[in-house]
Each structure stands twice: as structure tokens, then as C-alpha cells.
Amino acid sequence: MPHAHARPLTAPASGPLKGVAEVPGDKSVSHRALILGALAVGETVVTGLLEGEDVLATAEAMRLLGAEVERTGEGAWSVHGVGTGGFKEPARVIDCGNSGTGVRLIMGAMATTPIAATFTGDASLNGRPMGRVTDPLARFGAQAFGRSGGRLPLTILGAEVPVPVRYETPVPSAQVKSAVLLAGLGAPGETVVVEREATRDHTERMLAGFGARIGVEEGPEGRVITLGGQPELRPQAIAVPRDPSSAAFPVCAALVVPGSDVLVPGIGLNPTRAGLYETLREMGADLSYEDEREEGGEPVADLRARFSDGMRGIEVPPGRAASMIDEYPILSVVAANAEGTTLMRGVRELRVKESDRIDAMAAGLRALGVEVEEGEDWWAVHGRGAGGVPGGARVEARLDHRIAMSFLIAGMAAAQPVTVDDAAPIATSFPVFEPLMRALGAQFRAENR
């Protein structure tokens, strides 16, 4: 169901997309910059922060927990932190909106401080599982009181006498790993997280930058991360790289719209995030990295994408899933415009995102005339070749920004226009999506509800 202020939007077939697409800052890095800034002693200065709804909700949460958080210019933010263990009890409910990352990381960050905090979100977030975070937080001594199934709204009572924890993450999730590490900051001694599959490592990198004692080893059991508790975090200057998950939309649009040639400068290429681009290359996409360099501790490059006739479906290696987990919806749109079948396995986590993303994409793609098969942890898209998607349907975004953007791109390459019932959620991660795509040549038509 779209929400009360739903904003239906239509994308008709597009002429060639051309130009430079300056996508906003990385969402994962932006949340972490605000949270670690709030836990440091002194002023952290952030540039290139993503000013999307998810991150703005985290900024407000840090204020409620006692940090001074101020916007000083476009994407420029200053955070005066309270030090590890220094959060004060928030006087209001913390509303994280649509953001799984925000709520899970903040719950971790406050769980080893003896305060109570109540969290809520929108209809999407309040349906997502939180037990995956409250279970390990209980081992530190924190208590959680939530709705059945561990759903929000939920109150965390932080541990009075926190103890450090060794935790093996049962699902590949950077949010779970990060919640445990952030909780570990407030516990004496060493907290250890073991993850069988590597997930995005922005928390580990940034903790090292803030001066925490953190070590990462690859062992037979997977990645073993060891963090020394109760450090004094040193404030940092953080330049947030552009978000590869947002870049995926103009890049994939360029690959499927005939005649396109788009350059996305300075996007983050952290290997724990770059799986989509490897997959697209294997499918025969005309993609090139230019000027590879390092900025703010993260590898970045300029990425150039050109229309790619004759892309072929592939079997995406399941071991790559974590490094492209948010990109499966837009990959499925490219797959629909490729020849043959694209098989995506090991992707059960897609079912607990802002929507059940396998179900949401399968339903919408079928409405556009594309054949899709699905199982609990896999799905397959039968491609119709370049320009072969019929389109001409209205599809549900299900309060999910990535579903909304994916179907608008599908419309740009389809024979008939595609309407999404609600484009409003796009503002959670990519507030300038529409003007940015228009500047490249795309057209959108607002619809009456």
C-alpha cells in the first residue's frame, strides 16, 4: 500500500542519456560519520554527507542523545561528540523513518550506556526484524522490550555493567556486525565479531580512523574483528565518497537506454560494495573505471557507462551477494534487457529489506511483461533483449526507494511507459534522483493519485 502522501510518477521511453552524474554521498558512510562523530570527544567535520531522509533521521537521533549536530553548508556538517559512554537519555522517541541502518546502528551505539531509548519508524521499518540486533545486544547486558517478533516500536534499556561479547553473526549483515561493534565501544575489554562472509567494512575502517584499537583477521571461520572497548575516539575530518548504490541507477540506465554515455565521477569502489559492477561487466556491459584513486580512506574512481547492446544473462555467484545486496533490484532491470536468463542465488536477505525485494520486483517485472521465477533464496529473470521489455503498467514501490527507482529506469528502456505508485521514498537515499536523471535527458511525468 502506498502511504497517505503517495506521489505516483511515470517514466516514458527515454532518448539517449548523456552527461556527468554527480551522485550524492554514501548512505552507509554518512550514518557512521554522524554516529562515530557523536561518540568522539571534540568536533568532527563531515563533507559530502548524504542529506537524504534516512541520514537526517540519524542526525536528529544524535541530537536527542546529547551530541551537537549542525549543518554548516551543502553536505557540510559539524558534530560535537559526547565521548563513548556519554550519551544522555533521549527525552523523545527516536524515529528512524525508513532506515534499517540508522535504527540498528543507533541501538548498538546506546546499548552499553545505562539509559533507556525508544525507537520507531515508518510502516516499512516497523515490519522489519530487529531480533538480529537485540539478541547480541542482550549478551552485553542490554534489555529490549518490543512488539512481538522483535519489531519496532521497541525500547532498549542499556546495560548498567556492560560485558564484552564474542559474536558470530548468523546472517551476512553489516548492520548486525556494526551494532555489535558500536556496543563494544562501551564495554570494557575486547569485543569480537566473526562473520562468515565479508560484508561492507565501513564501520571497521572508520573506527580505525577515529583511533579505536581494531584488528581484522581472515581465519578458517571467516573474518574475525577484534575491538578494544572504551577508547577515547579522536574527532575526524571525513570526506564521504559518492554512493556506489546510488550510482547504480544512472549507470544501469545508461546501459539499457540506446545511445547513452554517462560519467559518474568519484564513486566509492570499496570492494565490499563493488559487486554490481563486476557482475555487469560479466554480462558484457560497456563500463570503464577512470582515474582510480583514494579519498578519505576509501578507494574511488570515475565510472563511465555506455549503452550496451547484446548483454547476456549470467549466474551471479552467491558469494558476491553481500557486496551488491542493495543492487539486485536494478540488476534485475538490466537482466530484463539482456539476452537469456540471469540467475541470482543466496539472496534470502532481500526478503527483509524495506520491502520483500524479490517479491516486489518479480510482481512488477511480470506486470511489465517479463518472465520471472523465484524461490525462498533465489530468483531468475528471463531477459527479453535490449529494448524488449513491453512495459505499459503501473507497479507498486512498497515504500521502497530502490524498487521505485528501478522501475522508473525500466520505463526509460521499455516500449510503453512505466508508472510507480509512489516515488516519495526515493528521498530516503537519493533526494536528487529526479533532477539528476532529467539533466541526463530522462523524462518523468507526475500523475494524479
Ligand X SMILES: C=C(OP(=O)(O)O)C(=O)O
Ligand Y SMILES: O=C(O)C1=C[C@@H](OP(=O)(O)O)[C@@H](O)[C@H](O)C1
Residues in contact with ligand Y by the rule CB under 6 A: 28, 100-101, 173-175, 178, 200, 325-326, 349
Partners of residue 367 on adjacent β-strands: none
| Binding positions for ligand X, 160-219, rule CB under 6 A | none
Catalytic positions, written as ranges: 326
Which residue, 174 or 436, has its beta carbon nearer to ligand Y? 174
Q: Answer yes or no: are the C-beta atoms of 230 and 186 closer than 8 Å.
A: yes
Which residue, 95 or 326, has its beta carbon nearer to ligand X? 326
Based on the shown chain and the rule CB under 6 A, indicate whether residue 326 belongs to the binding site for ligand X.
Answer: yes
Q: Which has the closest alpha carbon to 9: 441, 411, 361, 416? A: 411
Least distance CB 100 / ligand X (angstroms): 3
User: How far is CA 31 from each of CA 72, 142, 249, 255, rounded to the nearest angstrom?
Assistant: 17, 22, 21, 30
**Residue 449 among known ligand-binding residues:** no
**Residue 443 among known ligand-binding residues:** no
Which residue, 174 or 254, has its beta carbon nearer to ligand Y? 174
Which residue, 97 or 383, has its beta carbon nearer to ligand Y? 97
Q: Which does residue 99 bind out of ligand X, ligand Y, none, counting CB within 5 to 8 angstroms by kind?
A: ligand X
Among residues 14, 58, 101, 178, the one that binds ligand X under rule CB under 6 A = 101
Distance of CA 369 to the CA centre of its chain: 28
Q: Answer yes or no: are the C-beta atoms of 362 and 371 closer than 8 Å.
A: no
Task: Give the binding-site size for ligand X (rule: CB under 6 A).
Answer: 9
Q: Answer yes or no: are the C-beta atoms of 381 and 335 closer than 8 Å.
A: yes
Sign of CA dihedral 251, 252, 253, 259: positive
Q: Which has the closest alpha carbon to 215: 194, 240, 243? A: 194
Least distance CB 276 / ligand Y (angstroms): 13
Alpha-carbon span 16 to 431, nearest angstrom:
23
**Residue 173 among known ligand-binding residues:** yes
| Binding positions for ligand X, 388-407, rule CB under 6 A | 402
Alpha-carbon span 371 to 153, nearest angstrom:
38
**Residue 18 among known ligand-binding residues:** no
Secondary structure of residue 186 in the 3-state scheme: coil
Least distance CB 86 / ligand X (angstroms): 25
Secondary structure of residue 392 in the 3-state scheme: strand
Least distance CB 415 / ligand Y (angstroms): 32
Q: Which does residue 359 bind out of ligand Y, ligand X, none, counting CB within 5 to 8 angstroms by kind?
A: none
Alpha-carbon span 416 to 274, nearest angstrom:
32
Helix ranges (H only) for 163-232 are 174-184, 202-209
**Residue 28 among known ligand-binding residues:** yes
Known binding positions for 3-phosphoshikimate? 27-28, 32, 173, 175, 326, 353
Residues near ligand X (CB under 6 A)? 98-101, 326, 353-354, 402, 429
Known binding positions? 27-28, 32, 100, 128, 173, 175, 326, 353, 357, 402
